[in-house]
Amino acid sequence: MTARVGVITFPGTLDDRDTQRAVRAAGVEAVPLWHRDKDLHQVDAVVLPGGFSYGDYLRAGAISRFSPVMGTVIEQARAGMPVLGICNGFQVLTETHLLPGAMLRNNHLHFICRDQKLRVENATTAWTSDYAQGQEISIPLKNIDGRYVADERTLDMLEAEGRVAFRYLTDGPTADGYGNPNGSLRDIAGITNEAGNVVGLMPHPEHAVEPLIGTGRTDGLGFFTSILKKLVNA
Amino acid sequence: MSLDTVKHAAETPETDQPWAELGLKQDEYARIREILGRRPTGAELAMYSVMWSEHCSYKSSKVHLKQFGEKAPENDALLVGIGENAGVVDVGQGYAVTFKVESHNHPSYIEPYQGAATGVGGIVRDILAMGARPVAVMDPLRFGAADHPDTKRVLPGVVAGIGGYGNCLGLPNIGGEVVFDPCYQGNPLVNALCVGVMKHEDIHLAKASGAGNKVILYGARTGGDGIGGVSVLASETFDDAKPTKRPAVQVGDPFQEKLLIECTLEIFREKLVAGIQDLGGAGLSCATSELASAGSGGMRVELDTVPLRDSSLSPEEILMSESQERMCAIVEPDKVDRFLEICEKWDVIATVIGEVTDGSRLEIFWHGEQIVDVPPRSVAHEGPTYHRPYARPEWQDALQADDAAALPRPADAAELRAQVLQLVGSPNQASKAWITDQYDRFVQGNTVLAQPEDSGMIRIDEETNLGVAVATDGNGRYAKLDPYAGAQLALAEAYRNVAASGARPLAISDCLNFGSPEDPAVMWQFAEATRGLADGCQVLGTPVTGGNVSLYNQTGDVAIHPTPVVAVLGVIDDVTRRTPVGFAEEGQLLYLLGDTREELGGSAWSQVVHEHLGGLPPKVDLERERLLAEILISASRDGMIDAAHDLSDGGLVQALVESCLRGGKGARVVVPDAVDPFVFLFSESAGRAIVSVPRSEELRFTDMCGARGLPATRIGVVDGDELALQEQFSIPLAELRAAHEATVPGLIA
């Protein structure tokens, strides 16, 4: 049996074809899903890729969250289907409340595109099991609304329950003056839900799967091999 | 005001018309009356005025641009040449690549964010209209003095506009340039390039044929933005005394453009269009007249069916509106339903606004009454042609006589070291990462190389690793000293950059930025630069596929430096063989390829250290450039080099510093015997590159250079964490990095 991972395209989604390529690179079948179609076409997991769905005009992710496909995704995610939200996809997941918190404009107010070092803080989720706990990886970061915020109680809860999945490493070069790249609270780059099936992060693992392309690293491939193992062993 | 119909115009020949306010000259207005045999209607006058503007008609430049066709080298790769939305080049394996560079200078000065944003949007639609998926953009930018207060207004706005639009479109931004010079103070140059990829059979052309075929306008609604943008903004010199022209700048909606791209590509896949044109400068006036002019028949348009954002717009305004994110397609009647269905899927508004006729006229109606009845060629392709007078300016001799060789040079090693740091930290030579990090270079997942590499490189086939590389270059200082040589140096540099990355240069596009054509000195610069470029392309075998002319870049009597910007497109059969600029491995040997002469005229050193511009630019030897390119490509293909960097402004020392910092490795460099260390470091002789050669490949590499007659001088080794010049100085990489990277953020923040 082959695992099937759906990749949703909203109007304004940009990284859908890249994400399909990354899914295939891990040996998984990639299934394009369309925002207007409620049917998930028997996929075993879903990725919400990056971009500017609906132009981010109201608020990043705010409109996509009401699309027909998301109704089904929310239902299935609650039933345990693995869901990964990358960048704009993470923003959509917070809008649906599948994940807590929200993303604000970067504290320096600029779009930033760079290779970003992260630490994998939770290697037990559906999307991170192929990494080692505490492993450091570098994958591209590119956004303007990437500053993760939540109230103190929520942040404490996330920490206590081990639900901070990735943290920005700020010990790298800070010559660009940004330090933590966007002012995210507690350096949070990504989080998971309680069950570990829903994960969202701002950086882009799908852009780090081939040695030739982009930063030349393949540190992002682990997301997609993790889900392959999860689905095949299920 | 009542509607000015064709019938009414014929009956009221004496009516006073605002032709002068619309930018037409008296004889041009008279010619319109002669063509029509009556006075034009208001709508016709609007169409002629925008289409006969300098920006759309190339009336001052086209007698010179002809050379690009006449002198074009034999080149089997050229599939579509000058005259379409963009040229198309065969890159093998059934793929075709289209690319073009264009200017959006004047709007970007008035409204930096929207001006730059819609510049990206416009060039992307040009590429899309050829049938291609846009795959990358690049932005050659020029601003006034780095420390001028207005640069702080213009630059961040332009950068945010390019990023805000391009990032939202999902196109990687893989290169370009950022140059500062006081000559661009009131006239920043915002050029934009886009590259698109398609299969040969997918090439689409802008023509309306087949009587009965429908004319479909799709994309954004038409609003009041950008009305008169073409004629008023792009064709007139800025003058402080006139009222602000802000409303004439268009406003962009990148989300709409993204939908338009995906929708159009799906329409292409199903082969639903017979002809297609994007709406840019001159809006519907341009699209309808060009489509009809290039086709075999006429066209009839019901203008009142155009979906509007503002219902109070007059027919003249609708024809002139430059609202963004619109396209116009010619569709066979039995394919219209499917066309509209795909538009609906992508939430794109699409409206049948007319049809192709078997007549020969472009006829436009407003609620049943005819307001336009013109021969389309007279609007689109038979505008006025000027043979403007040109003359070598009197000051040219004095400028060339003011030789940079006479400038005081560093007295000792300490001063030489200080000037190296001063150079690499100067605004033009400093790292532009603060700017380029605001652009997404990763999206689409095919970026092999991006800035600060010598060229941007995109993989176009995942199976075979076929790729293309593009570099843009221009040096207004060189062109000011000698416009003929300056244009060739821009061509040579972009050509060299593409080759240094390992790709074979195929064709070029150009954006020619100059002052007012009404000034004979500027016209001379233009004539010399186009002649230089056409002659240069002949030698290098790279045809001009298209481009853009931007004139009137001047404030009062003061023109910008003549600034021809050249984009070279190259192909690489296997992108895994690409050559990056960064030194990667300690112990590798550094070779300097080419000849270093004492050439400091127009150099970065003369600007940074002495604020001087005079003398002659570096000598051009295009045969040498060809040979250098062949060596660089062969060495890349056969794995003889691990890094390469072209030498241009800033000379050898600039290239060494960039390669060291990019790779995070130092270098120990020896000045060859009988060479002056200062000239060795700072001369800007053309036709040169540095390469990093693994020891195991040294013999093979030097044998190849020797056999083909290219001078190759061993100048050092990759080593350590400092740049050391033997017997002169050493500078730790950290110190170089601080000098190189702190400048631009410090200027803007």
Token couple for A123: 């290697």
Residue owning tokens 């050029």: B191
Nearest to A213 among B169, B438, B446 (CB): B446
Q: Look at strands B173-180 and B133-143 and give their pairing.
A: parallel
User: Chain B contacts of A114, Cβ < 8 Å?
Assistant: 437
Alpha helices in B219-357 (DSSP H): 254-269, 283-294, 315-320, 336-345
**Best of B440, B447, B572, B736 to disrupt the A interface by mutation (most A CBs within 10 Å)?**
B440
Query: What's the sign of the alpha-carbon dihedral A192, A197, A203, A205?
Result: positive
Q: What is the DSSP letter of B282?
A: B
Say which residues have a Cβ less than 8 Å from residue B494's Cβ, sequence separation at least 6. Answer: B471, B472, B473, B508, B566, B567, B568
* Across B653-673, average pLDDT: 97
The answer to whether residue A140 neighbours chain B at the CB level (below 8 Å) is: yes
**Best of A7, A9, A14, A105 to disrupt the B interface by mutation (most B CBs within 10 Å)?**
A14
Q: What is the pLDDT of residue B648?
A: 97
Stated as kind and residue range, the H or E segment containing B125 is helix B112-129
pTM (predicted TM-score) = 0.94
- Write the Ramachandran bin of B444: left for phi over 0, alpha for psi from -120 to 50, otherwise beta: left
Nearest to B439 among A113, A140, A207 (CB): A113
Query: What's the sign of the alpha-carbon dihedral B413, B418, B419, B423?
Result: positive
- State pLDDT tens for residues B543-573: 999 999 999 999 989 999 999 999 999 999 9
Q: Does B339 score more than 90 pLDDT?
A: yes
ipTM exceeding cut-off 0.85 for this assembly:
yes
Q: Does A155 score more than 70 pLDDT?
A: yes
Q: Does A161 score more than 50 pLDDT?
A: yes
Token couple for B374: 């013109």
Q: What is the pLDDT of residue A146?
A: 94
Dump the DSSP string for B437-465.
Answer: TTS--STTS-EEE-TTSSSEEEE--TTT-
User: Chain B contacts of A113, Cβ < 8 Å?
Assistant: 437-442
Query: What's the sign of the alpha-carbon dihedral B196, B198, B203, B206?
Result: negative
Residue owning tokens 């930033």: A112
Encoded amino acid at B649, one letter = D
Inter-chain residue contact A15 with B168, CB threshold 8 Å: no
- State pLDDT tens for residues B505-544: 999 999 999 999 999 999 999 999 999 999 999 999 999 9
Beta bridge partners of A31: A6
- State pLDDT tens for residues B30-76: 999 999 999 999 999 999 998 998 888 999 999 999 999 899 888 88
Whole-number Å distance between alpha carbons of B508 and B492: 11
What are the φ and ψ backbone dihedral angles of A66, each rounded to 5 degrees? Answer: -95, 10
Count of alpha carbons within 13 Å of A91, Cβ hemisphere only? 28
* B166, B258 Cβ separation under 8 angstroms: no
* B626, B539 Cβ separation under 8 angstroms: yes
Report, in angstroms and rounded to the nearest whole number, the Rg of chain B calculated over CA atoms.
26
Inter-chain residue contact A56 with B168, CB threshold 8 Å: yes
How would residue B101 be classed by pLDDT, with cut points 50, 70 and 90?
very high
Inter-chain residue contact A114 with B437, CB threshold 8 Å: yes
Beta bridge partners of A46: A6, A83
Nearest to B576 among A18, A177, A212 (CB): A212
* Across B638-649, average pLDDT: 97
Whole-number Å distance between alpha carbons of B165 and B635: 38
Q: To the nearest 10°, the Cα dihedral for B663, B668, B672, B675?
A: 80
How would residue B280 be classed by pLDDT, with cut points 50, 70 and 90?
confident
Range list of β-strands (E), B653-697 = 667-669, 689-693
Q: What is the pLDDT of residue B206?
A: 80
Burial (Cβ within 10 Å: 0-12, 13-18, ≥19) of residue B149 = exposed
Whole-number Å distance between alpha carbons of B111 and B117: 10
Domain locations along chain A: 4-233
Token couple for B702: 């030097």
* Across B128-135, average pLDDT: 95
User: Chain A contacts of B452, Cβ < 8 Å?
Assistant: none
How would residue B1 be classed by pLDDT, with cut points 50, 70 and 90?
low
Inter-chain residue contact A111 with B440, CB threshold 8 Å: yes
* B363, B370 Cβ separation under 8 angstroms: yes
- Is residue B298 classed as helix, strand or coil in its secondary structure? strand
Q: Look at strands B362-366 and B298-302 and give their pairing.
A: parallel
Whole-number percent of chain B with pLDDT over 90 = 86
Whole-number Å distance between alpha carbons of B431 and B178: 10
Dump the DSSP string for A82-104.
Answer: -EEEETHHHHHHHHTTSS--EEE
The answer to whether residue A55 neighbours chain B at the CB level (below 8 Å) is: yes
For residue A11, give Cα distances in angstroms to B167, B173, B609.
15, 21, 52
* B507, B77 Cβ separation under 8 angstroms: yes
Angle, CA of B596, B599 and B602, to the nearest 5°? 140
* A147, A105 Cβ separation under 8 angstroms: yes
- State pLDDT tens for residues A175-224: 444 458 899 999 999 999 999 999 999 999 999 999 999 888 999 999 99
Selection from B305, B336, B449 nearest residue A215 by Cα: B449
The answer to whether residue B445 neighbours chain A at the CB level (below 8 Å) is: yes
Nearest to A11 among B346, B433, B737 (CB): B346
User: Chain B contacts of A57, Cβ < 8 Å?
Assistant: 255
Q: What is the pLDDT of residue A55?
A: 84
Q: Does the annotation mark B740 as catalytic?
A: no
**Nearest chain A CA: its distance from B456 CA (Å):** 11
Selection from A86, A6, A78 nearest residue A51 by Cα: A86
Inter-chain residue contact A110 with B253, CB threshold 8 Å: no
Inter-chain residue contact B443 with A18, CB threshold 8 Å: yes
Whole-number Å distance between alpha carbons of B117 and B107: 10
Q: Does B617 score more than 60 pLDDT?
A: yes
* Across A121-129, average pLDDT: 97
Inter-chain residue contact B167 with A142, CB threshold 8 Å: yes
Token couple for B25: 């000259």
**Nearest chain B CA: its distance from A207 CA (Å):** 6
How would residue A171 be classed by pLDDT, with cut points 50, 70 and 90?
low
Helix axes B413-424, B651-663, angle to 10 degrees: 70
- Is residue B150 classed as helix, strand or coil in its secondary structure? helix
Among B67-71, B181-185, B580-584, B635-639, the least confident range: B67-71
Write down the catalytic residue from B64, B104, B645, B740.
Answer: B104
Which residue numbers of A are catalytic?
87, 204, 206
Burial (Cβ within 10 Å: 0-12, 13-18, ≥19) of residue B562 = buried
Q: What is the pLDDT of residue A93?
A: 96
Beta bridge partners of B512: B549, B564
Token couple for A97: 């409340």
Beta bridge partners of B178: B141
Angle, CA of A199, A201 and A207, to the nearest 5°? 110
Range list of β-strands (E), B33-172 = 78-80, 87-92, 95-103, 133-143
Burial (Cβ within 10 Å: 0-12, 13-18, ≥19) of residue B112 = buried
Selection from B741, B728, B581 nearest residue B669 by Cα: B728
What are the φ and ψ backbone dihedral angles of A146, each rounded to 5 degrees? Answer: -120, 5
How would residue B242 be classed by pLDDT, with cut points 50, 70 and 90?
very low
* Across A131-160, average pLDDT: 96
Say which residues have a Cβ less than 8 Å from residue B548's Cβ, sequence separation at least 6. Answer: B100, B101, B102, B103, B191, B510, B511, B512
Q: What is the DSSP letter of B230?
A: I
Q: What is the DSSP letter of B720?
A: T
Inter-chain residue contact A113 with B437, CB threshold 8 Å: yes
* Across B186-191, average pLDDT: 96
- State pLDDT tens for residues B380-420: 989 999 999 999 999 999 999 999 999 999 999 999 999 99
Residue owning tokens 């016209």: B523
Q: What is the pLDDT of residue B227?
A: 73
Say which residues have a Cβ less than 8 Å from residue B560's Cβ, sequence separation at least 6. Answer: B142, B183, B184, B187, B189, B476, B513, B514, B515, B553, B554
| Mean pLDDT, chain B, whole residue set | 93
Inter-chain residue contact A21 with B445, CB threshold 8 Å: yes
* B283, B226 Cβ separation under 8 angstroms: yes
User: What CATH code is assigned to A4-233?
Assistant: 3.40.50.880
Longest Cα–Cα distance of chain B, Å, equals 88
How would residue B247 be classed by pLDDT, with cut points 50, 70 and 90?
low
Selection from B221, B227, B250, B215 nearest residue B308 by Cα: B221
How would residue A172 be classed by pLDDT, with cut points 50, 70 and 90?
low
The reply to whether omega before B452 is within 30° of 0 (cis) is yes
Q: What is the pLDDT of residue B232?
A: 42
User: Chain B contacts of A112, Cβ < 8 Å?
Assistant: 437-438
The answer to whether residue A121 neighbours chain B at the CB level (below 8 Å) is: no
Whole-number Å distance between alpha carbons of B303 and B305: 5
Whole-number Å distance between alpha carbons of B82 and B194: 16
Whole-number percent of chain B with pLDDT over 70 = 97
- Write the Ramachandran bin of B422: left for phi over 0, alpha for psi from -120 to 50, otherwise beta: alpha
Q: What is the pLDDT of residue B394?
A: 96
